[in-house]
Structure 1
Amino acid sequence: MADVDVLLKPREAAAALGVSYPTLKQWILADKLKTVKTPGGHHRVPESALRPLMKTKPEPAMRISRERYRKVSGRNQLLGVIEEVTISGLMAKIVLKIGDQRITSIITSDAVREMQLRKGQTAAALMKSTDVMIERV
């Protein structure tokens, strides 16, 4: 059976590549990134079109729709996989792998327990100014 190429929304493709949505849209409009149009005229990006632009293979978790966790006002969100959870007293260190990059956040150990954060789970890093919040998705 042939592999089916997953089609991503432009925002999902931008997150998978670690670029902004406007940058991805510019690439689409300049024909630097091939897309498939829906009957309604919306662009969908085949996952195979992203592979040459990525340094590592995309994680299956990157396919989770952004609508599922976008119930907060912060728009600077990066979807990744939890690589490390270290609890020390009242605080905890969470390391997310996003593509070939890592981002670290220090949050309360109560928050880690409440969200039941574990290595290998999908999570989103939400940035506002100098703060980074973690949300289990």
Structure 2
Amino acid sequence: MESLLTPREAALRLGISYPTIKQWLYRGKIHAVRTPGGHYRIPEAELDGMLHKTQKPETPKREMMRRLSGRNQLVGRIVEIKIDGLLAQVKLSIGGQIIHSIITAEAVREMHLQVGETAAALIKSTEVMVLRV
């Protein structure tokens, strides 16, 4: 079952203000369900398509990454982390698609990665294959 977020939690996740998310709800820009008490609850998947559009405050490390390869970053939400020994498998939901990445367990701990957080997949263009569907 998919997690539902309060408008405040969704605003925090997107890095926007609470009044902005409320306006988006009223205008139908973002879809939500209503509780029996009339409160809005927003499915996490509803935010996936908006993560790349929102701007979070830049940290020096993030600024360095943006200069490294801005065109090959896909922003999404961490949906699963499995750590086994020295390696970790991280699954990102990006626009409804799942991307798997194998990184070191140490990297997961250093970056404090957690399920539900926003992260970016940095893709090395020489390793991307295209398949006609």
Q: TM-score normalized by structure 1? A: 0.51
**Structure 1 segments unaligned to the other structure (5+ residues):** 7-46, 132-137
**Aligned-CA RMSD value:** 3.5
The 3 A distance-change label for structure 1 pair 106 and 122 is same
Q: 2:102 aligned with 1:106, yes or no?
A: yes
* Number of matched pairs: 87
CA distance in 2 between partners of 1:64 and 1:70 (Å): 15
Counterpart position of 1:4? 23
Which protein is richer in strand relative to its size?
Answer: 1
User: Is the CA contact 2:83–2:105 (under 8 Å) kept in the aligned structure 1?
Assistant: yes
SS at 1:58 equivalent: helix
Residue 104 of structure 1: how far off its partner (Å): 0.6
* Higher share in helix: 2
Alignment of 1:1-137 (within 5 A): 3-5=22-24, 48=29, 57-59=46-48, 62=51, 63-65=53-55, 68=58, 69-72=62-65, 73-75=68-70, 76-128=72-124, 129-130=126-127
| Distance in 2 separating the partners of 1:125 and 1:70 | 15
Write the distance in 1 (CA, Å) between the matches of 2:121 and 2:63.
Answer: 12
Q: Distance in 1 between matches of 2:123 and 2:57?
A: 17
CA offset digits 1:69-105 (Å, max 9, x no partner): 3422112001100001001111100000011101010
The residue type paired with residue 58 of structure 1 is L
Separation in structure 1 between the aligned mates of residue 49 and residue 96 of structure 2, nearest angstrom: 14
Q: Which runs of 5+ in 2 are unaligned?
A: 1-18, 32-44, 129-133
- Cα distance in 2 for partners of 1:61, 1:91 equals 30
- Three-state SS of the structure 1 residue aligned to 2:77 is strand
The answer on whether the counterparts of 2:48 and 2:96 sit within 8 Å (CA) in structure 1 is no
C-alpha deviation, 1:61, in angstroms: 6.7
